């Protein structure tokens, strides 16, 4: 019913409310459905997904047995909380114990049409397989996310992000093409090619990480002597790391590129893009109504939190329609904050922002600090700062002995540096409740990244390297 019911098949909004500014959706019915309707749909889909897990997944059969949970324990959506979580470590162990794809793969290998991978901390790829049906779901979910961000058929999109094994590579191609827009596969580390393509094809949009959008703007000024905003891009679709949702970073990118900047959020083990911002730019809408069940949990206790404005916690995903890698209550380690449950665009799904990843989190005298929050504060001092920062760790985290050491770049021409240092330190203390010691360095001192940015410098590794 919902699947494939595109905007074009139903050009008339059912009820255009007074504040329904831009009534344009890829899947109007599901994107504007009531919470109750979405829950009913998810409840039924989850029942089917559980039937499949109990019948097909050796990984979950063993897990459910260990947890003494039976199929009949699920009747309503709320019963999901009785089931055990799944962690990334378990998937890695499963793949190592049962190569090539792991015990958690529930489809026959002959039915798998593609594999992607994410590179873990160990450097070994963690594979994610797709059946034809899975690929179709990813395409629709990704297309809906891009469409929410404002992608339309006439767009010419420069894909300046990972293209090969990266989950949001070929899936973005499929999604962008499915909307009828033009996909230009540039990949990473190819700024010359990207600039040429933007100019020759008169591109209207670019898909990349916010780090790359920042890096590429500097590169264009330096290498081509051009102003990025003269190139005519209208839309920047950012993702793969927090950044584009930080107000000061977004303002800077929009200024640099003369384009609207929106961000998306996905997960290598669930789907390439699951949340994305509409042109209202007030947080990322949940776009996976019939494909993914989302829970937000207290990361310490595992307790499920109500999804309401102001809630913060860890994102947990359950697939509702997946054949190859069906995952139940998968802990993403992404820390998010719910920003709202209604929107001027008319979408009824909740909106959130990603604060950071648990893996990046630091603890200063019991206070949790995400490096992206430090970046947000330093960025707010633009134009006196460039917004580039690094948190320096002298010892392995997450515990940090205060003060938190922060290196931040001041902008060229900024004079009174002692005052700037003092103001930043005070704002960090006031906002994050931790003492910081800020070391100001000239613009261009810190490394720039073409893929994801690195906000933490592990100085202790350099010390170890030097003594070897």
Q: Which is nearer to Zn ion, 236 or 389 (CB)?
A: 236
Enumerate binding residues for Zn ion (CB under 5 A). Answer: 278, 280, 343, 345, 347
Q: CB of 21: closest distance to Zn ion in angstroms?
A: 9
Nearer to Zn ion, 342 or 412 (CB): 342
CB 443 to Zn ion: min, Å: 35
What SS3 state is found at 316? strand
For Zn ion, give the closer residue by CB, 173 or 347. Answer: 347
Smallest distance from the beta carbon of 148 to Zn ion, in angstroms? 7
Q: Are strands 367-369 and 436-442 parallel, antiparallel or unpaired?
A: unpaired
CB of 24 to Zn ion, least distance (A): 11
Q: Which of 347/384 has CB closer to Zn ion?
A: 347
End-to-end CA distance of the chain: 64
Phi-psi region of 225 (alpha: psi -120 to 50; beta: other; left: phi over 0): left
Nearest to Zn ion of 120, 279 (CB atom): 279
Task: Report how far residue 376's alpha carbon sits from residue 317's, in angstroms, rounded to the nearest whole number.
Answer: 27
Please report how close the Cβ of residue 317 comes to Zn ion at its closest, in angstroms. Answer: 21
- The Cα–Cα gap between 375 and 72 comes to 48
Of 273 and 324, the one with the shorter C-beta distance to Zn ion is 273
How far apart, in whole angstroms, are the C-alpha atoms of residue 48 and residue 43?
9
Closer of 343 and 374 to Zn ion (Cβ)? 343
Instruction: Give the shortest CB-348-to-Zn ion separation in angstroms.
Output: 10
Q: What six digits make up the tokens of 110?
A: 């002959």
The least CB distance from residue 150 to Zn ion, in Å, is: 11
Cα angle vertex 31, ends 30, 36, to 5°? 65
- Among residues 277, 51, 271, the alpha carbon closest in space to that of 141 is found at 271
Half-sphere exposure of 88 (CA within 13 A, CB side): 20
Q: What is the 3-state secondary structure (H, E, C) of 281-293?
A: CCCEEECCCCCEE
For residue 353, give both structure tokens: 């922002």
Question: Could you tell me how many helices (H) and strands (E) the chain has, helices first?
Answer: 12, 21
Nearer to Zn ion, 345 or 364 (CB): 345
Minimum CB–partner distance for residue 161 and Zn ion (Å):
24
How is residue 16 annotated by DSSP?
-
């Amino acid at each position: 019913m919902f699947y494939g019911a595109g905007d074009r098949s139903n050009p008339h909004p059912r009820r255009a409310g007074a504040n329904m500014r831009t009534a344009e959706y890829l899947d109007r019915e599901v994107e504007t459905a009531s919470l109750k309707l979405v829950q009913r749909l998810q409840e039924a889909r989850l029942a089917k997904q559980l039937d499949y897990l109990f019948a097909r997944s050796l990984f979950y059969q063993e897990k459910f047995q260990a947890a003494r949970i039976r199929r009949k324990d699920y009747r309503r959506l709320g019963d999901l909380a009785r089931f055990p979580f799944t962690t990334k470590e378990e998937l890695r162990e499963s793949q190592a114990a049962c190569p090539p794809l792991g015990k958690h793969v529930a489809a026959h290998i002959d039915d798998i049409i593609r594999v992607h991978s994410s590179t873990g901390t160990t450097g070994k790829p963690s594979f994610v397989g797709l059946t034809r049906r899975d690929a179709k779901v990813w395409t629709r979910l990704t297309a809906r996310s891009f469409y929410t961000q404002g992608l339309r058929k006439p767009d010419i999109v420069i894909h300046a992000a990972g293209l090969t094994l990266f989950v949001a590579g070929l899936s973005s191609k499929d999604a962008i093409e499915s909307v009828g827009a033009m996909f230009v596969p540039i990949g990473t580390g190819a700024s010359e090619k990207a600039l040429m393509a933007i100019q020759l094809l008169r591109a209207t949009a670019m898909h990349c990480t916010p780090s790359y959008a920042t890096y590429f703007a500097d590169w264009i000024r330096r290498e081509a002597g051009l102003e990025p905003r003269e190139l005519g891009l209208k839309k920047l679709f950012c993702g793969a790391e927090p950044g584009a949702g930080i107000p000061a970073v977004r303002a800077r990118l929009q200024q640099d590129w003369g384009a609207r900047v929106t961000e998306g959020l996905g997960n290598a083990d669930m789907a390439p893009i699951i949340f994305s911002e509409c042109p209202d730019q007030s947080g990322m809408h949940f776009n996976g109504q019939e494909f993914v069940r989302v829970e937000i949990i207290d990361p310490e206790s595992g307790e499920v939190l109500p999804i309401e404005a102001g809630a913060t916690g860890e994102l947990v995903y359950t697939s509702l329609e997946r054949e190859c890698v069906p995952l139940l209550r998968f802990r993403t380690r992404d820390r998010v904050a719910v920003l709202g449950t209604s929107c001027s665009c008319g979408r009824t799904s909740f909106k959130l922002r990603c604060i950071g990843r648990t893996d990046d989190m630091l603890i200063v005298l019991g206070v949790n600090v995400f490096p992206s929050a430090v970046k947000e504060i330093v960025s707010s001092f633009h134009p006196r700062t460039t917004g580039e920062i690094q948190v320096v760790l002298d010892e392995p985290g997450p515990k940090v002995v205060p003060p938190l050491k922060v290196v931040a770049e001041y902008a060229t021409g900024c004079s009174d540096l002692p005052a700037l240092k003092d103001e930043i330190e005070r704002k960090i203390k006031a906002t994050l409740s931790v003492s910081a010691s800020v070391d100001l360095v000239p613009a261009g001192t810190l490394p720039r990244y073409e893929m994801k940015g690195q906000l933490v410098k592990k100085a202790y590794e350099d010390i170890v390297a030097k003594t070897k």
